[in-house]
Amino acid sequence: MDGNFQRLKLPTGKVAIYTLLAGLFATGSTILYFYLMSKNGSSVIMPFSQFVLIYLLIGDAISDREKPVIVEVQSIAMIAFGVIIASVSGLGGGSFTDFLLNVFMIIGPFSLFSALYIFFQKKALTTKDKQGKLYDSINLRVWTMLIITIGQVVSAAPALSKGGFSEVSNSWKTALTPVIFSMLLVFLSIVFYTRALTMGKMSIVKALSSVSVVTAFPIIGIASIWLPNIFGFGGENLVLDIVLKLSGSSLILIGVIALALSETKSILLAKAKQGFAIKVEELTKIKGIESVSFITGQYDLLINIKMRSIGKAFSLVEKSIAKLSWIDDVITFQIMKEYE
């Protein structure tokens, strides 16, 4: 599941700080989620929660010190418009002011906390300890889950003191089995998700994980034709609500998939100048280069790169690699599809 896992252990140093911050922001987003669910249906919260992709994309851009490429801007625009269209039907019977306030809570604190949770997870997983070892996703999930549990218990204390504890004590036996089963699945899925964070951009990983969520929107819209009361639709605007939901969901899905597919991988073959020393460390310091290998034949090095677009990959070759004093020639091969 995670090759870095050996045993349960307390995080130390910077990893401990990142784990604590990840847990605190996860606690905040979880509490806000339940609060917002009490005020709105999932048909409003889930589309607007995709705004976290925008925050992550900005975070990736700041981390890489580069502006978003055109496909990322287009993806953001499609996601934003899709969110608005898909959520129009969620206005319900409440006031427009309340709706705007709830939307602000979703795209503001809720999405921001979720983005920071993901950010500090990645920081924890990519920071080496004093022995030069990386932290593992299983330990990270265990300790963040402990922080989330403590935070939720503290936040629920007022409700428990007002009779909520008796309700919990009367129903916990019935809920225990499904809760354990569901939480086990969630634990495993988040372990794999956090593991994936170490392998790619935060926005790309989140976009891939969002596909399964977004594809549920049109399914719910279609299902509401037969079961309007269960899925929260109904009334005179049923057809319009479904059309808006399907249209918005389609835009979100296209934007998410486009963002997920924007990352590109390339293989470079580099030839060193005759009589010049090959300085591999100069290559490994360049952002975007994943690995460098010595090879036999006409060329000396095989370089694997991963960038946010084909244009960025070309820019990397032209502005960084090809300009190294000891590089004589570089040829680039774009990876179209990979098999494992």
Amino acid at 5: F
Report CA 336 to chain centroid distance, whole Å: 24
**pLDDT in the model for residue 313:** 77
Q: Which of 280, 282, 279 is nearest to 293 (CA)?
A: 280
Question: Is this model's pTM higher than 0.95 or not?
Answer: no
Q: Token pair 């993901």 is at which residue?
A: 118
Residues 6+ apart with CB under 8 A from 125: 134, 135, 136, 137, 140, 194, 195, 197, 198
**pLDDT in the model for residue 190:** 63
Q: Which of 189, 240, 179 is nearest to 212 (CA)?
A: 189
- Looking at residue 50, the DSSP 8-state letter turns out to be G
pLDDT tens string, the chain, 340 residues long: the values are: 566 777 888 888 888 999 999 999 989 988 888 887 777 655 566 666 666 767 776 776 666 666 667 777 777 777 777 766 766 655 445 566 776 777 788 778 888 888 888 888 888 888 877 777 788 888 888 898 899 889 888 887 776 666 666 766 776 677 677 777 767 766 666 666 665 555 555 555 555 555 555 555 556 656 656 655 555 554 555 666 667 777 777 777 777 777 666 778 899 999 999 988 899 888 888 878 889 999 999 999 999 988 767 777 777 787 788 889 899 999 999 888 777 6
Query: How many Cβ atoms from other residues are within 10 Å of residue 238's Cβ?
Result: 14
Q: What whole-number distance in Å separates Cα of residue 65 and Cα of residue 72?
A: 15
Domain residue extents for the chain: 13-260, 264-334
**pLDDT in the model for residue 67:** 67
Does the domain at 264-334 match CATH 3.40.50.300? Answer given as: no
**pLDDT in the model for residue 231:** 53
